[in-house]
Chain A
Amino acid sequence: MCAASSSVAGRDGLAVLDAEEVRRALTRIAHEILERTHGGGQVILLGIPTRGVPLARRLAARIGEFEGLEVPCGSLDVTMHRDDLRLRPARALGRTDLPMGGVDGKTIVLVDDVLYSGRTVRAALDALTDLGRPKAVQLAVLVDRGHRELPIRADYVGKNLPTSQREVVRVLLSEVDGQDVVLIGEDGRKP
């Protein structure tokens, strides 16, 4: 379906999605969101910091281009709801920014860069419960790398990437890192 990627082996590992492929994956996800939510009328896109937030903004912009529809988007910090807080020193919080009107009765699409154990999404669901009662919650991720530890699956996936648990998947985005690329490498620091 997609053209052979110009895989570059770099310092941080192998590029599995380049900027063009990231763009195409997001375009497809944007179309799928419109299709699955019957036009995206009651949809709010909530990105999970750090890299879910620019992804949510890009999806909102894409939907705006296709349908002329302004989809509200925001960010949802899950730090305070994580189950691994006690395993590391206390960390700085990300931003939680909800669009005006809150989440009650809306279809929430959570947006994150990588879906791995599913624990971040579990924390996000808890955080969301404290903010109100959405009509439905869906999940969009750029990369699903498998190895779920909880019964969670994504509704929209940019790329399914079979990995081993020793490998590290990193998503770089131009808003945060200066370039768009998805890298896979052996070991190293956690993505």
Chain B
Amino acid sequence: MKRHLISAADLSRADALLILDTAEELASLADRPIKKLPTLRGRTVVNLFFEDSTRTRISFEAAAKRLSADVINFSAKGSSVGKGESLKDTALTLEAMGSDAVVIRHSASGAAHRLAGWVQGSVVNAGDGTHEHPTQALLDAFTIRRRLKGNGTRGAGLDGIRVTIVGDVLHSRVARSNVLLLSTLGAEVTLAAPPTLLPLAVENWPCSVSYDLDCELPKSDVVMMLRVQQERMTAAYFPSVREYSRRYGLDAARMGRLPDHAIVMHPGPMNRGVEIAADVADSVRSTIVEQVANGVTTRMAVLYLLLGGTEFPAVAQ
């Protein structure tokens, strides 16, 4: 494992499997009377959130607390960022207070990478702009493996599993991280989206691209719906929400075209009625709530593997 987790591309297949297998061991913790381990006692994890977040921040907080680390939550609202303090100064301030790891969410792509050059401790990217969100990809891979290969699977990749990622790929850090990680683990990934919502140079990604969702559905083991990120949209990418929903939204009729074992995923937060219909989101095939639970477990595995061992010597970057 590297010292930071900035991009899903940093993870080799062995690294990714180590994280998933560790998460598999930690999953049993949820059934125990004492859901806490003493492993990171005395370590401090700072949650540095410059962008709104519900599940990622709480998930990281829960993960760090279950490993007995101290957690400092920082959100840009109500902090000195409002007075014009830069990212670097904010980070150095937090470091001076003794943080061992920084979990950062920022609206600028590359913020986590910049931060990693400034601080001593480990940096975990919890979403940087439209770039990457590696822990989301890890928890998605973990969810897919558990659902399709069974709980307690160890050492297995996702070889041969066909994953279709649908919707707003252009603005999605989740999609990029998932394409990178899932293909590392051996899955065959297809992006299904309108041409306007595909990023430039998508042909260089390790995946195939389709503009027609309906012909991809019958051959998919996993369908991952992406949120239409209206807050990042600066132009008209599709004629109307209604038309988008007709062509790329997952409703009950479309779900019926999936193979019987296939699962429906969504990283959240959902726009019910836009990319996913309410009855699909609440169906037994949907793993949306499971993904949240698996998020805590997977993030525990990441924090343990980054912070649990010996401290990295400063030169070993």
Whether A associates with B in a native complex is: yes
> Are A81 and B309 touching (Cβ within 8 A)?
no
Which one, A77, A85, A93, A132, contacts B309 given CB within 8 A?
Answer: A85
B39 within 8 A of A: yes
Residues of chain A within 8 A of B32, CB atoms compared: 130-131
- From B28, B38, B304, B310, A87 is in contact (CB under 8 Å) with B310
Check B150 for interface membership: any CB of A closer than 8 A.
no
A55-87: which residues lie under 8 A (CB-CB) from chain B? 77, 80-81, 85-87
Asked whether any CB of chain B lies closer than 8 Å to the CB of A189, the reply is no
The reply to whether the CB of A151 lies closer than 8 angstroms to some CB of chain B is no
* Beta-carbon contact of B25 and A96 below 8 Å: yes
Q: Does B22 contact A (CB under 8 A)?
A: yes
Q: For A80, list chain B residues within 8 Å (CB).
A: 37-39, 304, 308
> What is the CA–CA distance of A133 and B1 in the complex, to the nearest angstrom?
36
Contacts of A81 in B (CB 8 A): 37-39
Known A80-B37, A130-B36, A132-B33; contact A88-B309, beta-carbon cutoff 8 A:
yes
What residues on A are CB-neighbors of B311 within 8 Å?
Answer: 86
CB contact under 8 A between A126 and B38, given known A93-B22, A132-B33: yes
Picked from B25, B33, B36, the residue with its CB within 8 Å of the CB of A93 is: B25
How would you classify the secondary structure of chain A's contact residues: helix, strand, loop or mixed? loop
0/1 interface trace, chain B 33-63, chain A, CB 8 Å (1 if under): 1101111000000000000000000000000
CB–CB B304/A90 < 8 A: yes
Bound-complex Cα distance A53 to B103 (A): 37
Give Cα A90–Cα B304 distance, bound, in whole angstroms: 7
How far apart are the CA atoms of A88 and B304 in the complex, in Å? Answer: 13
Q: Tally of A-B residue pairs with Cβ under 8 A?
A: 49
Please report the C-alpha to C-alpha distance between residue A87 and residue B306 in the assembled complex, in whole angstroms.
14
Let me know if A89 is at the binding interface, CB within 8 A: yes
Residue of A nearest to B311 (CB): A86
| Shortest Cβ distance from B36 into A: residue | A130
Does A95 sit within 8 A of B, measured CB to CB? yes
Known contacts A95-B25, A130-B32, A131-B32; decide if A89 and B37 are in contact (CB<8 Å): no
Residues of B within 8 A of A130 (CB): 32-34, 36-37
Give bound CA distance, A132 to B18, whole Å. Answer: 28
Is the CB of A166 closer than 8 A to any CB of chain B?
no
Determine the residue in chain B with the shortest Cβ distance to A83.
B38
Q: What chain A residues lie within 8 Å of B33 (beta carbons)? A: 130-132
Q: With A88-B310, A130-B32, A130-B34 in contact, do A93 and B26 touch (Cβ < 8 Å)? A: yes
When chains A and B are docked, how far (Å) is the Cα of A93 from the Cα of B26? 9
Question: Which residue of the partner chain A has the closest CB to B309?
Answer: A90
Q: Is A91 interfacial (CB 8 A cutoff)?
A: yes
Give A132 Cβ to nearest chain B Cβ, in Å: 6
Q: Separation in Å of the B14 CB from the closest CB of chain A? A: 11
Judged by a CB distance under 8 angstroms, whether B305 is at the interface is yes
Contacts of A93 in B (CB 8 A): 21-22, 25-26
A62, chain B: closest CB distance, angstroms: 27
Please measure, in the bound complex, the distance between the C-alpha atom of A85 and the C-alpha atom of B67, giving whole angstroms: 13
B310 x A92 contact (CB < 8 A):
no
- Known interface pairs A85-B309, A89-B310, A130-B32; A77-B1 also in contact (CB < 8 Å): no
> Nearest chain-A residue to B22 (Cβ)?
A93
CB distance from B290 to the nearest CB of A (A): 21
Instruction: Please name the residue on chain B nearest to A133 by beta carbon.
Output: B33
Determine the chain B residues whose CB is within 8 A of the CB of A95 once the complex forms. 25
**B281-317 CB contact bits vs A (8 Å, 1 = yes)?**
0000000000000000000000011111111000000
**A-to-B contact residues, CB < 8 Å:** 77, 80-81, 85-96, 126, 130-132
Given A77-B25, A85-B308, A132-B33; 18 other pairs, CB 8 A cutoff: A80-B37, A80-B38, A80-B39, A81-B38, A85-B39, A86-B309, A86-B310, A86-B311, A87-B310, A88-B309, A90-B306, A92-B18, A95-B25, A96-B25, A130-B32, A130-B33, A130-B36, A131-B33
What are the nearest 8 A-B pairs in CB distance? A90-B309, A90-B308, A89-B309, A93-B25, A130-B34, A80-B37, A80-B39, A90-B305
Query: 10 interchain pairs (CB within 8 A)?
Result: A80-B37, A86-B310, A86-B311, A87-B310, A90-B307, A90-B309, A93-B22, A96-B28, A130-B34, A130-B37
